[in-house]
Structure 1
Amino acid sequence: MAHVHTIESRLGRFVETPVGGEIVRAFMPPALPPQPPIDILSLLPHLSLAERALGRLDGITTLLPRQELFLYMYVRKEAVLSSQIEGTQSTLTDLLRFETEAQAGQPIDDIREVSNYVDAMMFGLERLKELPLSLQLIREMHGRLLQSGRGGTKSPGEFRRSQNWIGGTRPGNALFVPPPVMELDTCLAAFEAFMHEDKSRLPALIKAGFLHVQFETIHPFLDGNGRIGRLLVTLYLCVHGVLRRPLLYLSLYLKTHRADYYRLLQEVRERGAWEAWLEFFLKGIADTANQAFDAATRIVDLFRADRERITAESDRAGSALRIHELLQQHPFLTAGQLVTQTGLSMPTVNAALADLERLGIVKEVTGRKRGRVFGYRRYLAILSEGTDPLPVAA
């Protein structure tokens, strides 16, 4: 029976709390790290594959002609994916075109949410220069995430003051009820303490896996918990030097395996099954880093091959190369933007664009005669992999 007792201490406890006229059992997670400690030996093969994949990714980013350019695109891809897990239907192309044609009236709510996510992420990375990764930083990022669009009514930047729940129509029939409001401060204080402790000497990747689950379990906001919880992983790895640039985002992996993801979170809560979750998490880190490495390599090759084709086959190689250069930074551009940014005349820009269209490098995407938008076709195809919205449940 001793074994049962040991796992017991990994389990949380339930607190009865009145919500809307019924008594609900809300869950209180035990503080981290789990007791008894996780079986780290069984996780070592997964840990070393994840660390190796991250090292490779870090290595190639130093070879990219413009690191910040890859980062710029990658952050946008993550914003789209992370928002899709929460049910938005916008694609990477929607976001990039919205940013290109920002003058085209008010954006739809979905794109606004995605662009808030980009803002929250960039804000968080910048803010880490002055502030440690902390509850305050998490709240500030949340404020940016929900600053406008549908989240405006969900207490941006504030921890919740009412009971929330996951699944079901009310707390009484929910799949999971997070800690009650009166226990929230205790849970969050323990969460923050674990973020900064070094007594456990756990590898940063393992700690990041713990923190993500604990944050989702505490569910401290009325909205945006999933998105902030995913961002937290990347920020934590940057702070601890596992990543030099914030190029690792788990949303595509979690979107692809979302049934497993939700099941494993629930098994940690119900059975203390941390090892199964960590194995899934580390595999996700390795897969994601390998995908990013592969995309970065293909992008570098594409840029080089297209430069060579333009040089060899374009009648206007000089101006076409300048435009190609700008399309690497913004894969959608209008002729007007190109005139402003290159200083070339409109006829020259139009002639060079026609040439790039003939070579199959750019494609006009609006079908309009005026205000035409040109997209860097193959670059967008690599960036967009995996970003089709999830089918809407009937």
Structure 2
Amino acid sequence: MSDTDIDTSFIDRTFLERIDDKLERLESMRPLPPAVLRRLNEEMKLMHTYHSNAIEGNTLTLQETKVILEDGITIGGKSLREHIEAGNTAKAFDLVEELAKGKVPINHVNIQRLHEVVMAGLVEDSGQYRTRNVRITGAVKSPPDWSKIILMIDEMLDKLISDKTHPIETASFLHHRFVEIHPFTDGNGRVARLLTNLYLMSRRYPPVALRKEDRKKYYSALRSADKGNLKPFGQFIARAVDDSLTLYLSASGGADELIPLKELAEDTPYSQEYLSLRARQGILDAVKIGRIWYSSRNAVESYLSEHGIKESEQED
């Protein structure tokens, strides 16, 4: 087994409580109107497809990925492989949705099935565990001997069943442990991100998209986990879940509607720059879309009630 484990909590409790509160609010809104749910799911499929492939070096833009998926148009100047990656990842995301709805457990069959879909036409051994040893440039340690893969995945799956920690901590463990085992010759990161969504979605969380802009932070957190410290990676996954919940809650409109911080700041004692700082620190509940920070009136009111008076007095 890995030095990393999930017998103890490693994500900030206050942050998890905020996430739990958001999930509870989302549950109270369900079932969402079919048109709203369809739009959200399509948006998350696009975001996951674009960002997951971009993390691996795919140069398609978000808009180009959208055109390929929705219109089947070929993008000039882009490789055939990049087009295949877009189509495959979207199909694999659809499969994750199907498995999550059916509450199908994560097992060897579904792990290999996801790999077969996401890597079809890209590698000769899609859907098959590797039968040779590999090395990863820059990795803290080499992946285990190929002959140990099935046993190590069995141990990982047993851990998922017996684990009693928070689902987001378990999802973080699953993601890291899977890429650490590195069961396939290629495509392990793509499958890990799909499995993370399968685990979360089967527990009523919305899907997440790990963003290309956070690629360095993503790999740095994984390297820390390789050394036995899962905390940075757990916090990274928790932030992605929190952002996704914010997006789904905003679909209801009203006080949960996402509004640029520039606009929200006008009704507070603080500047846009100051609120952006608090958002980056994770103290103000906000989500960054592109280069712009968004929050909601509910989140700002909650922030002001908890921090506003104290900070105002300090500023005086």
Instruction: Tell me whether the two structures share a fold, i.e. TM-score over 0.5.
Output: yes
Q: Is structure 2 residue 150 aligned with structure 1 residue 194?
A: no
Q: Does 1:116 align with 2:116?
A: no
Unaligned runs of 5+ in 1: 1-27, 169-173, 303-384, 388-394
Q: Is the 8 A contact 1:212 1:233 kept in 2?
A: yes
Q: How does 1:138-177 map to 2 (within 5 A)?
A: 138-148=111-121, 151-153=122-124, 155-168=125-138, 174-177=139-142
Q: Distance in 2 between matches of 1:157 and 1:192?
A: 18
Check whether the contact 2:103–2:202 (CA below 8 A) recurs between aligned residues: no
Q: How far apart are 1:130 and its partner, in Å?
A: 7.6
The answer to whether 1:73 aligns with 2:69 is no
TM (norm. structure 2) is 0.70
Determine the structure 2 residue equivalent to 1:12. Answer: none
How far apart are the structure 2 equivalents of 1:130 and 1:201?
19
C-alpha distance in structure 2 between counterparts of 1:281 and 1:96, whole Å: 25
Cross-structure match for 1:278? 234
Identity %: 22
Deviations 1:121-166 (A, max 9, x none): 2123324528422121011011011112xx233x100111122232
Task: Supply the distance in 1 between the matched residues of 2:240 and 2:42 (Cα, whole angstroms).
Answer: 22
Contact 2:92/2:118 (<8 A) preserved = yes
* Partner Cα separation in structure 2 for residue 212 and residue 130 of structure 1: 19
Aligned residue pair count: 257
For the 8 Å contact 1:215–1:229, the answer to whether it is kept is yes
Superposed, 1:239-258 pairs within 5 Å as 239-241=202-204, 243=205, 247-252=206-211, 255-258=212-215
Partners of 2:64 and 2:216 lie apart in 1 by 27
The residue number in structure 1 matching 2:18 is: 49
- Alignment partner of 2:220 out of 250, 256, 263: 263
Query: What displacement does 1:97 show?
Result: 2.1
CA–CA distance in 1 between the matches of 2:47 and 2:151? 35
Contact 2:168 2:234 in 1 (8 A): no
| Deviation per residue, 1:198-250 (Å, 9 max, x gap) | xx422212211111111111111111111111111221122233x2xxx3213
Aligned to 1:357: none
5 Å-filtered alignment, 1:298-317, equals none
The 1:87–1:56 alpha-carbon spacing in structure 2 relative to 1, beyond 3 Å, is: farther
User: Are the equivalent residues in 1 in contact too, given 2:69–2:86 (CA < 8 A)?
Assistant: no
Q: 1:181 aligns with which of 146, 156, 170?
A: 146
Which structure is larger by alpha-carbon Rg, 1 or 2?
1
Q: Which amino acid aligns with 1:230?
A: R
Deviations 1:12-56 (A, max 9, x none): xxxxxxxxxxxxxxxx624x744xx3246x731121122233444
Unpaired runs of 5+ residues, structure 2, are 259-288, 292-316
1:232 to 175, 195, 198: 195
- Give the aligned CA root-mean-square deviation in angstroms: 3.2
